[in-house]
Amino acid sequence: MTTPKIPVTEDELHAYVDNELPAERSSDVEAWLATHPDDAARVQSWRTMAEALHARYDSVLDEAVPKRLELERLERQPRRWIYAAVAATLLAFVAGGGVGWIARGATAAPSAFQSFTLDALDAHRLYVVEVRHPVEVPGSERAHLQQWLTKRCGWDVRAPDLAGLKLVGGRLLPGPSGPASFLMYESASGERFTVYTAKAETEATQMRYSAQGGDGALYWADRGVAYVVSGGSDRGRLTQVAQAVYDQMEKSGG
C-alpha cells in the first residue's frame, strides 16, 4: 500500500468515482480510502447514486441536444455537453387538479405550456445525471446565485428553502424568449428536483401537469414569469415540492 504524497481533495474523490484520475494518483486515492472510512463511505454513496442515475438515463446518451438549450443563444462560449438531452417527444398533457390553489387568470395557450415544459424537462434530464458538474454555481453560494440569475434574467430569482431537500445550485440557460434560470435540489436519498423559470407572455395560469418517460413536470405562470418544477414519476411528491415553491414565490411577491 502506498502513502498519498499529498492529502486527497474532494475534487479528486469525485474524479476517482468518474474514472478521470491518472493511474498513479488513483493508487494514492485508494490508499487514502483504505485508512479513511468516512471518505470511503462517501465514495461508495456517490457510486451508488451514479449507477442509479446511469441506469435510468443512459438511453439518452446518443441523442442530440435540443436547439432550445444551445448556450450560443445566450452568446456564451460553447461548452462540452456531457450527456445529450432527450429528443423532444409529444407530451401527454393533463390539467393539474387538486393542487391546493386555483387559477387567477386565463389558462396558458397549449403552445406556451408545451414549449416551457419541453425546455424544462430537457434541462432536467440533461443535468440530473451529472455527479460532478450538475450546476454552474453551487448552493453554498445561494446569495451570489440569486443575485447573478436576477441580474441576467431580469426578474427577481429566488432559490426557495424546500423541506427535506438541499439546494445543489443553479445555472443560466436559454429560455423560449430569453434567458432562463435553473435551480436543482436533492434529497438525502439522491432524488433530484429542478425549478426552471423564464418569462411568459401570459400573466397567470393554473398549474398543469405533464409526464414524459419516467419524469413529471408541473407548470404555472404568475406576474409574467413561468415556472416548471420537474422530478420523478411520483406525482404526489412532485406536487408537494411544486406547491412549496409556489407558496414561497407568493410570499416573496414573485
- Tens digits of per-residue pLDDT, 161-176? 999 999 999 999 988 8
Rounded to an integer, what distance in angstroms lies between the CA atom of residue 217 and that of residue 248?
18
Looking at the DSSP assignment, which residues form a beta bridge with residue 194? 184, 230
Could you tell me which residue, 26 or 156, shows the higher pLDDT? 156
Per-residue confidence (pLDDT) for residue 179, from 0 to 100:
93
CA distance linking residue 116 with residue 202, whole number of Å? 12
CB 175 within 8 A of CB 201: no
State residue 92 phi and psi, 5-degree precision.
-90, 110
C-alpha cell at 184: 436543482
CA 159 to the chain's CA centroid: 12
| pTM: predicted TM-score of the whole model, two decimal places | 0.60
Residue 244: pLDDT band with limits 50, 70, 90: very high
209 three-class SS: strand
Helix (H), strand (E) at residue 220: strand 215-222
Q: What is the reported pLDDT for 132?
A: 85
Mean pLDDT: which of 87-91, 102-106, 107-111, 206-210 is highest?
Answer: 206-210
What average pLDDT score do residues 91-98 get? 35
Contact 212, 119 (CB under 8 A): no
All structural domains of the chain: 10-59 (no CATH), 75-252 (3.30.200.100)
Task: Quote the CA–CA distance of 122 and 84 in Å, as a whole number.
Answer: 9
Query: Cα–Cα distance between 165 and 237 in angstroms, integer?
Result: 12
Note the pLDDT tens digit of each residue in 177-226.
Answer: 889 999 999 999 899 999 999 988 776 677 888 888 889 999 998 888 99
DSSP 8: P
